[in-house]
Chains A and B, each alone.
Chain A
Amino acid sequence: MAERKVCLSGSGLTKIYGFGRTRTVAVDHVDFNFYEGEVISIVGESGSGKTTLAKMLLGLTSTTEGEIYFQGQRRDISTQRKKLEYWKNIQAIFQDPFSSYNIFNKIDAVLLDCINMRGGHGFPRAKKVEMMTEACSFVNLKFEELTNKYPFELSGGQMQRLMIARIFLLMPKILIADEPTSMIDACSRATILDMLMGLRDEIGMTIIFITHDIGLAYYVSDSVYIMEKGKFVEYGTADEVILNPKEPYTKRLINDVPKIYEEWDLSTV
């Protein structure tokens, strides 16, 4: 195996919401090294702190304690300019496509923002349209049909594909996908996942894939981190963790995945 380069790491990363009786430790002193070009899954039940960790990694919420290192350097996002620079490298797809879009903006605006962010301000209109068309066709959407439409006129699956088109234009080094398929219909899920993986091959980015479905994690990832109540309780390669789980929590997560070839024991349901 070639030498693996760390692109994002954290030490003692902690997030505490509220104080007094409402104090919640959402993320509790986690340490990790995410390697370049890998798909890293973070698996945990809902409420285990996955989204909070993602927001901290994205710099969308402050950290209570701990440090984040980006490409070996301590991450510095103290000014708006530095944040912008950081966000050129790290992007996200959120869980709920229906709340991810500004309902007052048209689809063109969403994609144009991405082109502008990558320094395409001065491009002629035709070139921009060409780029948007390409991005849309990558996710099997027809730009001509979408222009002048609003995101909420699309289905959930289409909206999430548009999110991927966004990433296609932005070409970040790291993509954090926070349960990107959990809010959309089962038929669209496989398509979305295929497109994400296709995009990774296309631009060679690192994907941090957040899910509550350990089966899905096994299917897509190189490394797996298991998160329980804000802590990483187990991590390793997908094979290590899922074929050879050590923690009871991990075993429970694995057992929760329904297996088609097993007959359901209805008496325990």
Chain B
Amino acid sequence: MKHTLQQVFRSGKFIFGFSILVAILLIVIIYPLVIPDPPLAIIAQGTFFEPGIYVNVYDSIIAPKYTLNLEGAAAKRIASRLNSDDRLAMKEWLVAVGIPEDEIDIEDTALLLELWETHFDPKTQIAGMTNARRNYYIRLNASLEGLLATEAAIIAVKNPTTGALEEKSVVAQSDFVNANKVANVRLLPLGTDNFGRDVLTELIAAARVSLQIGFVAGIIATSIGLTLGLLAGYIGGIVDDIIMFFTNLFTVIPGLVLLILISFSIGQERRGATTIAIVIGLTSWYWTTRAVRAQVISLRNRDHVNLSKLSGHSIVHIILNDILPYIASYVVMAMILQISSAILAEAGLSILGLGPRTTEVPTLGLMMNWAMIYYAHTLGKWWAYIPVLVTIALITFSMNLMNTGLDQVFNPALRD
């Protein structure tokens, strides 16, 4: 037994898969302890904020100011408001209103702006220009205002009695705040989702719930499958016939269809994460039964089982001591597979909108479902679904890798 464990932990594939899984488990357990935010709290007003560091503007203004004279700061500022696409568009306009092409240098911001100022008129009709394009030019024009300005900006407050603006402070272009000294800075590594929730916090909570669903469903399926497989295989006869009848019934009806029908008939309101886990477990035990039964049948006529009978052991003792240890490694592998397929089954169900009800906990499947309903993928909001896919892939990949490693240890023929 100890020997086998040693061998298992010498298998590179197993260790790799196991490390990934342990890392995921650790993150899932430790992250909520460090950052106890409720995962479903809506923090953003609006949908799909990009990943990044969000610095509170008000707090930045009142934070202590530092002057840093950085070369290229102005250029960066301008570039952030006027990118190369905009410059090309401006050139296009200028050419259309009759400026010779070689007189326009789009790299020279000052010259470009000067030409633009003199020649842009929203009322000019340009042949073949769509309304949308014209609106784009109007927006662009508005954003250019004060682009080259170098004066400081004034922060003013309204006097509550007179309503007049009173100067509060002045913000020069070379003013900086130390982000550490700004009271409110929020890191959103994966941005926010369609509801305005922090995707990372939500994702980690979802991974945790999905793993829980996987483990519960996997344990249920494996216990049922193992018990029935042992009974059918060892006792045989009518017991075997009855068990195999139900097993075949389940085999013939595709598991997902059954799962969909049951989930649908339970109804959205009564479908919690636990219910879903139980339903998945109750619909996926059958192949473990088949596999265990086949193994037991090949074991039950072995001499060591016969010897155990001759030594006066009961059926229960023989099943637990002379059969179970011989198939234990196999059962562990079956259970790992059950867990990873249960996680996938939950994802599948939730994508179809038949997963756990959406008000309590997120799951990986629900996050996919939300991303889909709100067109995250058409809108290019990758952070709302790619990390979810990667998490699902990592979990199932790590488990399958562990299984391959175990398989190599237990079936020496597969060893490389």
Contact = CB atoms under 8 A, between A and B. Distances in A.
Contacts of A55: 306
Contact of B321 (A58, A101, A102): A102
Contacts of B310: 58, 60, 87, 91-92
A104 B321 contact: yes
Interface in B296-347: 302-304, 306-315, 321-322, 325-326
A101 B309 contact: no
Nearest to A97: B303
Contacts of B326: 104
A13 B302 CA distance: 23
A148 interface: no
A35 interface: no
Given A87-B310, A102-B304, A80 B322 contact: no
Interface string A93-104: 011100111111
Nearest to B309: A60
The size bracket of the interface on A is 20 to 34
Nearest to B322: A102
A91 B306 CA distance: 11
Contacts of B312: 84, 87-88, 113, 116-117
Nearest to A96: B303
A107 interface: no
A80 B314 contact: yes
A103 B3 CA distance: 13
A105 interface: yes
Nearest to A116: B312
Contact of A94 (B1, B307, B311, B314): B307
Nearest to A83: B309
A87 B309 contact: yes
Contacts of A205: none
Contacts of B308: 102
A114 interface: yes
Nearest to A58: B310
Interface in B226-245: none
Interface centre among B303, B310, B313, B321 (most CB of A within 10 A): B310
Interface string A68-112: 000000000000100110011001101110011111110000100
Interface in A35-77: 55, 58, 60
Contacts of B313: 113
B321 A100 contact: no
Contacts of A104: 1, 321, 325-326
A125 B306 CA distance: 27
Contacts of A96: 303
A92 B306 CA distance: 9
A88 B309 CA distance: 11
Nearest to B1: A104
A87 B314 CA distance: 13
A117 B302 CA distance: 21
Contacts of A110: 311
A87 B313 CA distance: 11
A100 B304 contact: yes
B311 A101 contact: no
Contact of B306 (A83, A94, A113): A94
Nearest to B310: A87
Contacts of B306: 55, 58, 60, 92, 94
Nearest to A91: B310
Nearest to B302: A99
A117 B1 CA distance: 27
Contacts of A60: 306, 309-310
A99 B309 CA distance: 15
Contacts of B325: 102, 104
B235 to A, nearest CB: 12
A113 B321 contact: no
A80 B318 CA distance: 13
Interface string A231-259: 00000000000000000000000000000
B27 to A, nearest CB: 37
A113 B1 contact: no
A185 to B, nearest CB: 19
Interface string B44-58: 000000000000000
A228 B308 CA distance: 30
Nearest to A102: B304
Q: Which 9 residue pairs spanning A and B have beta carbons closest together?
A: A113-B311, A117-B312, A104-B325, A100-B303, A94-B303, A102-B304, A99-B303, A60-B306, A102-B322
8 contacts: A55-B306, A83-B309, A84-B312, A87-B312, A95-B303, A102-B308, A110-B311, A113-B312
Interface of B: 1, 302-304, 306-315, 321-322, 325-326
